[in-house]
Chain A
């Protein structure tokens, strides 16, 4: 029952975030690139003011799987770098923390684009 409740929380928060995105699309006709950038910056903001952690405790993957989690990771890394290595750490930390996402996106993106040649658009 405990695990069911946890997944319900993940589902509710993750779904709610996506619903906000859809609401933004419906109201402003934003393209997907702008939606992604907007939510990434929301994630940076949530992390910067320290709201992200408590939401993550409650929702788990419901907030880390949306691109919000990626933005929060970048800021978390930059702040960690700053506390460990000073000003230079601000430059080092961000991409270090996000490296798993960026590198795997480049690797899998490249492989899939090579393997699956473009299909004619229907």
Chain B
């Protein structure tokens, strides 16, 4: 037998953990589902344009996924998905689109230039900067290696 206090302590210990496991489960489920949509977009592209190359197929897929992410953010559905999915909605490329549209919409009233155009890069800016820097860094490393 455990008394009330011990029980309360036990609940406190256990409950955040089970909530964390739940977030992991939904991140897996919804993240995997979004990736399957991406695969389906690629398959449909191949059906419509059979001669499409692998590179072009990837480009079309990312355009479509970014469009879907922006649209769902615009009509307010993506944030609702995000509440359940957590990282499942952040990590896919649709989350990148969401990170652009969301602040741009929020600061819409500050005008087009200072509101929308500048705020859209609040999150996307760091992503593009870090990505470009990393790609240049890797390129330089390959260049230095190729010298020897």
Contact = CB atoms under 8 A, between A and B. Distances in A.
A32 B99 contact: yes
Interface string A74-92: 1101110110000101110
Nearest to B32: A15
B120 to A, nearest CB: 5
Interface in B131-148: 131-132, 134-136, 138-143
A98 B116 CA distance: 22
A11 B136 contact: no
A65 B34 contact: yes
B94 to A, nearest CB: 8
B24 A26 contact: yes
A16 interface: yes
Contacts of B32: 10-12, 14-16, 18, 62
Interface in A1-39: 6-7, 10-26, 32-33, 35-37, 39
Given A40-B130, A44-B134, A93 B139 contact: yes
A27 to B, nearest CB: 9
Interface residues of A, number: 75
A104 B62 contact: yes
B91 A35 contact: yes
Given A61-B39, A110-B120, A36 B90 contact: yes
Interface string B50-91: 000000001111110111001101111000000001111011
27 contacts: A11-B32, A14-B36, A15-B27, A15-B29, A15-B32, A17-B91, A18-B85, A19-B31, A21-B31, A21-B91, A25-B86, A40-B130, A44-B135, A61-B41, A64-B62, A74-B131, A75-B135, A93-B135, A94-B131, A94-B136, A94-B139, A100-B63, A104-B66, A110-B120, A116-B75, A116-B105, A118-B106
Interface of B: 20, 23-24, 27-39, 41-42, 58-63, 65-67, 70-71, 73-76, 85-88, 90-97, 99-101, 104-109, 112, 116-117, 120, 122-124, 126-128, 130-132, 134-136, 138-143
